Chain A
Amino acid sequence: MMTTRRQFIQTAFGSAALVSMSHSVPAVLLGASRQTALSGEDRILIVIELGGGNDGLNTVVPYGDENYYKNRFTLAIGRNDVLKIDDHVGLHPSLRGFSKLLEQQQLAIVQGVGYPNPNRSHFESMDLWHTAHRVSENAHLGWLGRCVDESPVLAGELPAIHYGDGRQPLALGTRTRQVASINSLEQFRLNVGNKRKFTDTIRGDLAIRRDSNNELLGFIHESAGLALRTSERIENVLDTSSTARDFPGTSLGRKLAAISQLVDSGLPTRIYYVTHNGFDTHSNQAAAHSGLLSELGDAIAALMTDLQQRGHDKRTAVLTFSEFGRRVRENASRGTDHGTAAPLFIAGGAVRAGLTNKHPGLTELDQGDLKFSTDYRNVYATVLDKWLGIDSTPILGKSYDSLDLFRV
């Protein structure tokens, strides 16, 4: 029974014990150390899920390849419209935000990301991306959720936040701990009638010491103080800062504006997750895709500018992914159908900017689909090991090599 007990305590209460320990350190000191030291423990990852299957070929366009123009008879992006990266590929003209980030050395592009035996079902492929499935385990656990459950790096309060409405993404699926879903910064705003009076009274009340033997009361006492301070900071940002105005008024723009404010509020959160849906463009793709990409590029560019101004750019990385790319040949409805490998993007002040790995090329196809050149788990391993400082081997169930994506 002893082993059971120890295991039980470790899994169920290990994190709680850590939290309570962190509360025995005065929160002010804790906050101060967070602001100054820029070690791996302070780094933040923002994941943007592009739901529906982004057309990679029209995102990073192989404009130097004749086959591209043969297969994309109505949807091809003209050679002169492409935002050129090198003499073979360039960005979709709506990705002005991304080309700006490239110029500023803040964007890495990993080409040809996929996995063996591609699955063309939205759900099943998305599940793979979300879970990076380990063998002999139920499929409820996300790759990020496992980090929250298992990594001491994420043992603190609010380790991850899903920002948005609706169901929590499987990627954040945990077994023991709970991940917060927040759909508005207003959730941090006190709504209590006369707020001034309330906070004055409570602040005065919290200044009174409680019975030091009551550890649980001590925990809540600390948490209440921290909550009030966080709320005040976020409210302050909400009411005075121009952040929201500097972001595009799109849905993704608003989400990233909020995340930028959360990052700046000093919240200990390390992982943020948002979704950007609508990429399943089977018909009339051109206008829809262009809108989606400009929303994506403009929002991330605004985020990086904002983070830079507040001094968080070097500790933040933004990762985009989509469940799959689309078929090389467009269909009869001026759209594209489910495909395989596609590029993904990592933005941030500490990324190794530019193209990583080769474009899969349009000559060697697998039943009309691109062949992947980078396994997505190599990207995950890189992000975990090199960025968040979390050992990726137990999380991914196997050791995957890192890519050279960060300048740290």
Chain B
Amino acid sequence: MRIDPISAWSAWRPDEREPWNLMRAAHLMRRAGFSSSPDQLDVMVQDGFDVSVDRLFACDGAKVFDESMESTEQVLSSAQDPNALASWWLLRMVKSPTPFLEKMTLFWHGHFATGAEKVADSRSMLRQNRLLRDHALGKFEPMVQGISQDVAMLVYLDSTDNRKTRPNENYARELMELFCLGPGNYSEDDIKELARCFTGWEVRRNEFRFNKNQHDQGEKTVLGKNGKFDGDEGVRIVIDHPATSDFIARKLINFFVTDDVVDGPFCEPVAKTLRESDFDFSIAMRQILSSKYFWSSQCIGKKVRNPVEMAIGLIRGLGINFNMNELRDRLAALGHLPLFPPNVKGWEGGRHWINASTFIGRVNLVRQLVSGAPATFEAGSLAKAVGTRDGQQSGDWLPRLLDGFLPIPLQPSSLSSLTAIADRNGDGQDQRIADMITTLAGMPEFHLN
């Protein structure tokens, strides 16, 4: 990484050499959403880069959608089956008019990883999910303060009891190591002292409460600061630590921009934006998504498509109606089921998405999504979904489809393999196109993002 950080994170503008086109619109939607159909991408190209980015951040249009989901999620969470809630979130990702907000929520869910199986209370999980969505594009402190008193989180981290005489160190440790600072920026004493700030914080009957009698009123020393801190103040001290902006900037960049390791100095411009905006994520994300680095060849195609991106992307891109319970089981086998992170650290991501079992699973899932039953296509058929018209050869529609799906071009020989399948004699058109997309899923390029 020998790029100048300042220039890397400065604003990118489309120009003649790097025009705003379908491929670039697709890159934006794959990273800051879950892909879009070629037609939607065309609209973005016409509207231009600025309008398209603005639209990502405009979440007003989601009101009607949110209302339509509200009673449904209520019912599904009262079934007390965390699996049902996972299916529901997947449906939300499929249908949401504000996919960027969902993607941000998914990011924060991985950051504040909480497993529904252990929490064993769907309502608490739903509450946490709403909290993350409410703050996903907002500010860090209210989100961290909220998550610090979030029932699901505290249950997940075995921190439902914090007594004066026996401070529970779990939450204090994770707040510093996983949520704000990263390892190496605090000492074991800081953990012990911070844990004292959280004494009296309890969960009873799936509600958070502060038990004054159990709070340690004494003086604490946390990260070099002294005072009779309570929990809220403890959280604020951690957030205010200089390492926080660096840590969060790096996590955002690794989730949205590149799987490559990025170091502190390189991320500093983004960290600076975070600090100067009081950790306003809509500002920081705008910087990231409009940066020269994000739009450079160093980043396009430099991430592994995660299973959720792959599945929801195909579903949104082709307008598929698919059984979310089935999808949930498939994603679980691929190791990426929302609400069921593998551990407190969330999904490791990157190359870990691909192994001998998951690669086969990914291809099989793509096959199932495009091969009709139990899926149906909003356009009526797969052929219509990919944008063909009667009698057209693949040359008329395949390039556009691939531009929308792939971050980097295929090898010429790969392209001709696909063309041969799509244009072969015999079999219905949908069958041929399904075979073609399945074959595409077997090619390495498909798994890049």
Contact = CB atoms under 8 A, between A and B. Distances in A.
Contacts of A182: 333, 357
A216 B302 contact: yes
A227 B359 contact: yes
Contact of B344 (A175, A181, A188, A228): A175
Interface string A208-227: 10100010110111011011
B184 A205 contact: no
A140 B302 contact: no
Contacts, number: 168
B348 A12 contact: yes
Contacts of B174: 138
Interface string B157-194: 11000000000011001100000001111001000000
B261 interface: yes
B417 A205 contact: yes
- The B contact surface, by secondary structure, is helix
A193 B352 contact: no
A158 interface: yes
Given A205-B414, A227-B355, A192 B444 contact: no
Interface stretch (A86-94, A196-204, A248-256, A387-395): A196-204
Contacts of A221: 444
Interface string B176-220: 000000111100100000000000000000000000000000000
B184 A224 contact: no
Contacts of A362: none
B243 A4 contact: yes
Contacts of B27: none
A171 to B, nearest CB: 13
B439 A201 contact: yes
Nearest to A136: B188
Contacts of B184: 3-4, 7-8
Interface in B301-332: 301-304, 332
Contacts of A231: 356, 360
B227 interface: no
A228 B356 CA distance: 8
Interface residues of B, number: 65
Interface residues on A, range: 35 or more
B173 A188 contact: no
A64 B448 CA distance: 67
Contact of B359 (A208, A217, A223): A223
Interface in B401-449: 408, 411, 413-414, 417, 421, 434-435, 438-439, 442-445, 447-448
Contacts of B261: 8-9, 12-13
B246 interface: yes
A103 B186 CA distance: 57
Nearest to B342: A178
Interface string B326-350: 0000001101000000111101101
B97 interface: no
A16 B350 contact: yes
B137 interface: no
Interface of B: 117, 157-158, 169-170, 173-174, 182-185, 188, 243, 246, 250, 259, 261, 263-265, 301-304, 332-333, 335, 342-345, 347-348, 350-352, 354-361, 363-364, 367-368, 371, 408, 411, 413-414, 417, 421, 434-435, 438-439, 442-445, 447-448
Given A180-B355, A192-B367, 8 more contacts: A5-B264, A8-B184, A13-B261, A19-B351, A193-B435, A193-B438, A201-B442, A224-B447
